[in-house]
Amino acid sequence: MADLVVAAKEGLLCVPGDFYIDPWLPVERAVITHAHADHARAGHAHYLTAAPGAAVLRSRLGEISLEALPYGKKIIHNGVTISLHPAGHVLGSAQVRLEWHGEVWVVSGDYKLDPDGTCAPFEPVTCDAFITESTFGLPIYRWEAQQKIFDDIRHWWRRNAEEGRAQRAVLLRLRQGATSIERYRQCRRSHHLPRRGQRTQPDISRERCLVTTHSERE
Ligand SMILES: [Zn+2]
């Protein structure tokens, strides 16, 4: 059987379906894996994305013709069965499952296997072919377990607090930021940290901490 998805100049093209996945040039129909700027671009005539990410996509692209599909729900377009499944990356991120004449291909943008509480956890999807366009997807990248990373941050915060040093965490809003803020909330509940964007007063505590989010487009 011929390839279900090919690389065209506009982006990844589902040939029998005649639609694109995260295209980088304007097209008639685009399936968007998630709302990060390197996957969701303006200028397409019609958009399809996972329902939990619809508001994020609209907030970034404005008024667009958008169909929001709940995770797992199947639709058929030009004979290709399409369904979206959690990629565990950011709110609304999806793997795109395509079924055509009994063959299944899955196309994903970024994905993350560790659940972090900010979005639906990654769902393994059985397929004949898997394509991913993931920023840190190459095998050369190796990451510490999330718990280890956040333990390191917490120790850094405690050490600074004990030494009376001010500290500041700047977070990208829709990437590490969402995860970090969620962990920060958990940490604040258990360690009485100041609220986001709030400095503790020196007469209340020697501990000073400011957490801000970075609004740069990701
Ligand atoms: Zn992303």
Q: What is the DSSP string of the chain?
A: ---SEEEETTEEEETTTTEEES-SS--SEEE-S-SSTTT--S--SEEEEEGGGHHHHHHHH-S--EEEE-TT--EEETTEEEEEEE-SSSTT-EEEEEEETTEEEEEESS--SS--SSSPPP-----SEEEE--TT-STT-----HHHHHHHHHHHHHHHHHTT--EEEEEETTTHHHHHHHHHHHHHHHH-PPPTT-PPPTTT-S--EEEEEE-S--
pLDDT digits (tens, 9 = 90+) for 5-61: 999 999 999 999 999 999 999 999 999 999 999 999 999 999 999 999 999 999 999
pLDDT digits (tens, 9 = 90+) for 114-145: 887 889 999 999 999 999 988 777 888 887 88
Q: How far is the CA of 73 from the centre of ligand 1 (A)?
A: 22
Q: How confident is the model at residue 201 (pLDDT cuts 50, 70, 90)?
A: very low
Domain range summary for the chain, segments of one domain joined by +? 5-132, 146-214
Q: Is the pLDDT of residue 160 over 50?
A: yes
Q: How far is the CA of 40 from the centre of ligand 1 (A)?
A: 9
Q: Is the pLDDT of residue 210 over 70?
A: no
Q: How far is the CA of 166 from the centre of ligand 1 (A)?
A: 31
CATH of domain 5-132: 3.60.15.10
Q: Is the pLDDT of residue 188 over 50?
A: yes
* Ramachandran assignment for 210, one of left (phi > 0), alpha (psi -120 to 50 degrees), beta (any other): beta
The pTM score is: 0.76
Whole-number pLDDT of residue 26: 97
Query: Which residues have CB less than 5 Å away from ligand 1 (the ion)?
Result: 36, 110
Q: How far is the CA of 138 from the centre of ligand 1 (A)?
A: 15
Q: How far is the CA of 60 from the centre of ligand 1 (A)?
A: 14
Q: How far is the CA of 210 from the centre of ligand 1 (A)?
A: 26
Q: How far is the CA of 135 from the centre of ligand 1 (A)?
A: 7
Q: Is the pLDDT of residue 93 over 70?
A: yes
52 or 205, higher pLDDT: 52
Q: Which residues pair with 98 in a beta bridge?
A: 82, 105
Q: Is the pLDDT of residue 202 over 80?
A: no
Whole-number pLDDT of residue 186: 60
Q: How far is the CA of 34 from the centre of ligand 1 (A)?
A: 7
The span from the CA of 29 to the CA of 140, in Å, is: 34
Q: How far is the CA of 111 from the centre of ligand 1 (A)?
A: 8
170 or 41, higher pLDDT: 41
Average pLDDT, the chain: 83
